[in-house]
Amino acid sequence: MARVPLLEAEDLPEEYRYLFTENDVGDAHIFQAMANAPELMRWYMRYSTRLWDVLPAREREVVILAAARALEHEYEWHQHVRLGCEAGVTDAEIDAISRGDLAALEDRDAALVAYARSVALGDPRDGDHDRLGEHYETDTVVGVAMLASHYVSTARTLDALDVATEEPFVGWTT
């Protein structure tokens, strides 16, 4: 049970209801919990949206899945398995990310996973940074670091509020 109420659009002041109605938040507990601080939720969504533009959707989801798995964070993993599949991440790739099997991934994806994991665990190494830089410009590498660390922050917020998945956890493999 979440430590804060899980709100609906109609629970918000009128000026913030669009956060539910103009965005695809559905019944996601993360947003229902964040709605207790609607102004912060608005800024969170703006920042998240900008970070989502750092990479193409498929690669973005590889980064988020790698960070979620490094943290063993069920909520983020659960949400982004579905989003990853929708963005073109295969079941085999999801399983490889879950196992930390970089050899089973294309080099570009392996570089994303290694870097996102190291950022999420608070131990980014020169080798991981340099490997990612072989595939991306510096501004994108910075964006990947910010994206991965954003999901660390999101995971910690979900933990603090004790927000659970909407359905039973999908598990660590597909």
> For 1, which DSSP code?
-
Residue type, 85: C
Residue 93 lies in a domain: yes
CA distance 7 to 168: 20
Is the separation of the CB atoms in 62 and 107 below 8 Å? no
What value does the mean pLDDT take over residues 64-84? Answer: 97
User: Which domain CATH number covers 88?
Assistant: 1.20.1290.10
Residue 25 has a pLDDT of: 74
Give pTM, 2 decimals. Answer: 0.95
CA distance 146 to 73: 18
Residue 29 lies in a domain: yes
Under the banding of pLDDT at 50, 70 and 90, the label for residue 139 is: very high
Residue 80 has a pLDDT of: 96
27 shares a domain with 77: no
Residue 35 lies in a domain: yes
Q: How many domains does the chain have?
A: 2
Question: Does the pLDDT of residue 23 top 90, yes or no?
Answer: no
- Residue 12, C-beta contacts closer than 8 angstroms, at least 6 positions apart: 19, 20, 35, 38
Question: Residue 133 half-sphere exposure, CB side, CA atoms within 13 Å?
Answer: 9
Residue 166 lies in a domain: no
Domain range for residue 45? Answer: 9-52
- pLDDT tens sequence across 113-135: 999 999 999 999 999 999 999 99
> For 122, which DSSP code?
T
**Overall residue count recorded for the chain in this entry:** 174
70 shares a domain with 48: no
Structure tokens at 107: 């080099």
Under the banding of pLDDT at 50, 70 and 90, the label for residue 97 is: very high
- pLDDT tens sequence across 36-59: 999 999 999 999 999 999 999 999
Residue 31 lies in a domain: yes
Residue 21 has a pLDDT of: 85
66 shares a domain with 35: no
116 shares a domain with 65: yes
Structure tokens at 92: 């085999």
- The secondary structure of 15-71, three-state, reads HHCHHHHCCCCCCCHHHHHHCCCHHHHHHHHHHHHHHHCCCCHHHHHHHHHHHHHHC
